[in-house]
Structure 1
Amino acid sequence: MARPRKPLLSRDRIVTTAAALVDAEGLEAVSTRRLAAELGVSGPSLYNHFRTKDEILDAVADSVSAQVDLSMFDEGDGRDWRTALHDWALSYRAALTEHPNVVPVLARGPGRRPAGLRVADAVFGAMVRAGWPPAQATRIGALMRYFITGSALGSFARGFVDDEAAYDPADYPHLGQAHLLAERQEEVDEGAFETGLRALLDGLAMQYETGVRGAWAARQPSSDGSWP
């Protein structure tokens, strides 16, 4: 029998199939037995590419991280640090909201995942280049990840039922319109994210002006005209 032109199994094919399962049914749907059945192979053949189920889920999570736009952090891009963080946050959240079931894996941090580490490296490097002290640049990266992943873990609007009777004004005098939130999910959730993001960046900008720029303004040139 002639050898097939393409190998029956590959890392990319396993990750694509696992990602589809996660998107459709959640993290619990992924098992080596289920994946082998979906791929039409024997279970042990998966171990030629991944040692454990956790490694497969890590690869799925990293495939989502790889969808995040990092171009705004390129040195020649021209966007200031605040605009870059804003645009990156929108791209990051868009990727997560397309694949919400994998967010719990991403929320654990990048670990050894290459795409996840590239995200962390890009954010940290851009903040340091902008003048943030390395320790504060690290905190900013952590803060942004907390905010973005937290926003993608669930929908505030979908947390309310569309039954007006559930919000008796005698018990909940201020929830008379709560039954309308579910049908306005995108408007509410996207608006809340943008509001929070701008407030977060406003706060960082204040710290930057008083701390980073203030520190530069306070520095004096040495006697030879150079800056310390």
Structure 2
Amino acid sequence: MSPAEPPYRRIAAEIRRRIALGELRAGDPVPSARRITREHGVAIATATKVLALLRDEGLVLTRPGAGTVVAPGPGPATRTGRSEPELTRDRVVRTAIALADAGGLAAVSMRQLAAELGVATMSLYRHVRGRDELVLAMADTVLGDAPLPARQPTGWRARLELLARAHWAAYRRHRWLPHVISIPRPQLMPHGMAHTEWALRATDGLGLDRQLRWHIAITLVAYVRGIATNLEMRAQAEQDTGLTDDQWVDRQEDTFRRVIVAGGYTTMAALTAEGDVDLDLDSVFEFGLHRFLDGCAALVGPAATGPVPGVTPGR
């Protein structure tokens, strides 16, 4: 193998060799994208390309619950002799979710999904009309998996906070999700609409007009989504550099200090001199969520006595 060969091809060649030698047999799991990143020190995108190449060659496929495994050759499907599960819309969508969780939305295409499922690409169109519908179904499915109890807790604040935390947890599990959700153009997602219904019901009976209730619901959703858009970038940066956020900041500390001094940023210099600050995405989420709810609490009282600045009263 030439030293100039792209890393993903070198890694794929090693797995291909193991399959050829019988070290990995039909039905055996192959290294996952995350394992490849750990063992070979490459980015998740590179690891995803390794598996995509092997799928394109027909050497591996994905089985729900088992991950990526060596594809069967002529004869029995696996050493257990069991056939592939029936292709359903749910299986198509959840396999696509697994692809996106491992490699981001860029890893999801109809061709790659078909290879993961071990089916012809055209067979997918019996279940989804195209990639756009697929991605929307993926988002709605993971929102449906977000835990919202059948009965709302007592109090508007507890209800809104529960919804915000459910969204934050979903975004942490599926870092691609905030890049799908649209605030200015609402999407037809039944589970997503159920979450909006939850937020609107949380403010029922408080004497708020419809404009204010809609603004509270949508602003809460938009706030959590906005913070969550940083999750994928953080994970990719950590994968590419091999450094956590804290480790990266530590390495850049001297450079930042020099720039702060040279730029005359006196307030930043003074606060930095006082010591470290616990500042990460989780702390920013917590701070912003509580301040948002505090603001809503201030609006609940005067809402019935006059208009709220910045919100046009309903006609």
Shift of 1:68: 2.6
Counterpart of 1:115 in structure 2: which amino acid? H
Q: Give the match's secondary structure for 2:145.
A: coil
Shift of 1:148: 0.5
Kept in 2, the 8 Å contact 1:22–1:102? The answer is no
Cα distance between partner residues in 2 of 1:99 and 1:164: 29
List alignment gaps of at least 5 residues for structure 1: 216-228
Counterpart of 2:99 in structure 1: which amino acid? L
Q: 2:135 aligns with which of 57, 66, 75?
A: 57
Greater Cα offset, 21-30 or 163-172: 163-172
Q: 2:198 aligns with which of 122, 132, 135?
A: 122
Tell me the equivalent position of 1:29: 107
List alignment gaps of at least 5 residues for structure 2: 1-81, 235-243, 262-267, 307-315
TM-score (norm 2): 0.57
Q: 2:255 aligns with which of 142, 167, 181?
A: 167
Q: Give the match's secondary structure for 2:87.
A: coil
Cα distance between partner residues in 2 of 1:134 and 1:102: 28
Change (3 A) 1:66 1:144: same
Shift of 1:171: 1.4
Structure 1 residue runs of 4 or more that deviate by more than 3 Å after TM superposition: 4-7, 107-110, 155-162, 173-177
Question: Which structure has more helix as a fraction of its residues?
Answer: 1
Counterpart of 1:89 in structure 2: which amino acid? A
Cα distance between partner residues in 2 of 1:110 and 1:17: 25
Change (3 A) 1:78 1:96: closer
Cα distance between partner residues in 1 of 2:126 and 2:132: 15
Cα distance between partner residues in 1 of 2:172 and 2:206: 29
Q: 2:156 aligns with which of 65, 76, 81?
A: 81
Tell me the equivalent position of 1:196: 288
Shift of 1:110: 4.8
Shift of 1:12: 1.0
Shift of 1:196: 0.8
Q: 1:100 aligns with which of 156, 172, 175?
A: 175
Aligned-pair identity (%): 31
> Looking at CA atoms only, which structure, 1 or 2, has the larger radius of gyration?
2
Q: How many aligned positions are there?
A: 202
Tell me the equivalent position of 1:20: 98
TM-score (norm 1): 0.77
Deviations 1:148-196 (A, max 9, x none): 000111058949644145524231244769xx88xx7xx7222211111
Counterpart of 2:125 in structure 1: which amino acid? Y
Deviations 1:57-91 (A, max 9, x none): 0111011211233338x3xx451111211122112
Cα distance between partner residues in 1 of 2:254 and 2:120: 51
Change (3 A) 1:146 1:132: same
